[in-house]
A and B are shown apart, each in its own frame.
Chain A
Amino acid sequence: MGMTIAEKILADHSGRATVKPGEYVWCSVDGTALLGHSPLLKRLETLGVERLFDPDRIYAVEDHMAPPPTLEVANAMVDLRRLVKKYGVTHFFEYGRHGILHELFPHHGYISPGDLIVSIDSHSTSYGCFNVASTPVNEEMLFVVVTGQIWLRVPETIRFNITGKLPGPEEFVVGKDVILRIAGEYGTECAIYRSVEFHGPAVHQMSMSSRFTMANMSVELGAKFGIFPCDDKTLAYLEGKMRRPSRPVAPDPDASYESVHSIDVTGMPPYVARPHDPGNSVPVMDVEADRVKIDQAYIGSCTNARMEDFRMAARIIKGRKVHPDVRLIATPASQDIWQQCLREGIWELFAEAGVLVTSSTCGACAGMHMGVLGDGEVCVSSTNRNFLGRMGSPKASVYLANPATVAASAVTGYITDPRKFL
Chain B
Amino acid sequence: MAEKLGLRFQGRVWKFGDNISTDLMMPGHLYSRMLPWEEIAKHSMAANRPGWAEQVRRGDIIIARRNFGCGSSRPAPRILKALGITVVVAESMSRLFFRNAVNVGFPVLICAGAYDAFEEGDVAEVDAETGQVRNLTRGTAFQGEALAPDTPPYEILKAGGLDTYLKDVIARMKKGTWRPA
CA distance A311 to B28 in the complex (A): 30
Question: Is the pair B23, A143 in contact by a Cβ cutoff of 8 Å?
Answer: no
| Chain A residues in 8 Å Cβ range of B24 | 387-389
Check: A286 CB closer than 8 A to any chain B CB.
no
B48 at the interface (CB under 8 A from A): yes
**Of B2-10, B69-77, B115-123, B129-137, which stretch is located at the interface?**
B69-77
- A interface residues, how many (CB within 8 angstroms): 49
Contacts of A64 in B (CB 8 A): 31
Q: How far is the CB of A132 from chain B (nearest CB, A)?
A: 18
Question: Residues of B within 8 Å of A, CB-based: how many?
Answer: 45
B162 near A142: Cβ-Cβ < 8 Å = yes
Q: Could you tell me the distance in whole angstroms from the C-beta of B105 to the nearest C-beta in chain A?
A: 10
Check if B33 is an interface residue, CB within 8 A of chain A.
yes
B38 interface contact, C-beta 8 A: no
Select A142's contact among B19, B27, B166, B181, beta carbons within 8 Å.
B166
Q: Indicate if A188 sits at the interface (CB-CB under 8 A).
A: yes
User: In whole Å, how far is B112's beta carbon from the nearest beta carbon of chain A?
Assistant: 13
A222 within 8 A of B: yes
Whether A37 contacts B34 in the complex (CB less than 8 A), given A24-B152, A47-B166, comes out as yes
CA distance A139 to B94 in the complex (A): 15
Which residues in window 155-181 of B have CB below 8 A to A?
Answer: 162-163, 165-167, 169-170, 173, 180-181
In the complex, A308 has a CB within 8 A of chain B:
no
State whether A387 touches B34 (Cβ < 8 A): no
**Contacting residues, chain B, for A406 (C-beta < 8 A):** none
State the Cβ distance, B37 to closest chain A Cβ, in Å.
13
Instruction: Specify the chain A residue showing the minimal Cβ separation from B21.
Output: A387
Whether the pair B73, A120 counts as a contact (CB closer than 8 A) is yes
Would A47 and B23 count as touching, CB distance under 8 A? no
A136 vs B169: C-alpha distance when bound (angstroms): 22
Q: Is the interface of A mostly helix, strand, loop or mixed?
A: loop
**Roughly how many angstroms separate A192 CA and B19 CA in the complex, as a whole number?**
12
- Pairwise interchain contact B152-A151, C-beta atoms closer than 8 A: yes
Q: A138-B100, A222-B67, A389-B23 are in contact. Are A72 and B92 (CB under 8 A)?
A: no
Do A188 and B67 touch across chains, with their CB atoms under 8 A apart? yes
A47, B104: Cβ atoms closer than 8 Å: no
Q: Which of B23, B66, B151 has the largest count of A CB atoms less than 10 A from its CB?
A: B23
4 further A-B contacts with Cβ under 8 Å, apart from A142-B162, A147-B169, are A70-B32, A188-B19, A389-B24, A390-B23
29 sample A-B contacts, Cβ–Cβ < 8 Å, listed by A number:
A26-B180, A43-B163, A47-B170, A73-B32, A122-B71, A122-B72, A122-B73, A136-B96, A138-B100, A139-B162, A151-B152, A188-B70, A189-B66, A189-B67, A192-B93, A367-B28, A387-B19, A387-B21, A387-B71, A388-B21, A388-B24, A389-B24, A389-B28, A390-B71, A391-B28, A392-B28, A392-B29, A394-B46, A394-B47
Mark A residues whose CB is within 8 Å of B: 24, 26, 37, 43, 46-49, 64-65, 69-70, 72-73, 76, 120-122, 136-140, 142-143, 146-147, 149, 151, 188-189, 192-193, 222, 224, 277, 366-369, 372, 385, 387-392, 394
Q: B residues engaging A (CB < 8 A)?
A: 19, 21, 23-24, 27-29, 31-35, 46-48, 66-67, 70-75, 92-96, 99-100, 103-104, 151-153, 162-163, 165-167, 169-170, 173, 180-181
Q: What 4 A-B pairs are tightest by C-beta distance, nearest first?
A: A394-B47, A26-B180, A389-B47, A139-B103
